[in-house]
Amino acid sequence: MNIYLAAQHMDTINMQMQGYLHNSNYRDLVTNLVLQIRQASPNTQLFVQVSISPARGTVQDNVNAINILKTLPIDGILVFYNNSQTSDLQQLFTLLDR
């Protein structure tokens, strides 16, 4: 898929990158995609999704990813969680406040 062409026809993009959280090139992968989208369509709203589901990584893994994402030219970060994970979600926000 040519992300450059696709981005030109979208108002909003949610990049679901939680599957790449443990990839050693996570920072580079996400950064490259974000920059391609921004170049193609600077006004497209761009969100990156992480997930605190146990299969995707620990709360701390996601805090680390969010700290990377906060440095990128994106409009927001979406956090996926299961209804039973409200305490994990609270822990995530507590760690981010530090």
pLDDT of residue 10: 86
In degrees, to the nearest 5, what angle opens at C-alpha 92 toward C-alphas 18 and 49?
25
Kindly report the backbone phi and psi dihedral angles of residue 34, in degrees, each rounded to the nearest multiple of 5, phi listed first.
-60, -45
pLDDT tens across 65-86, in order?
A: 999 999 999 999 999 998 999 9
Predicted TM-score of the model (pTM) = 0.87
Say how many CA atoms lie within 13 Å of 71 toward its Cβ: 9
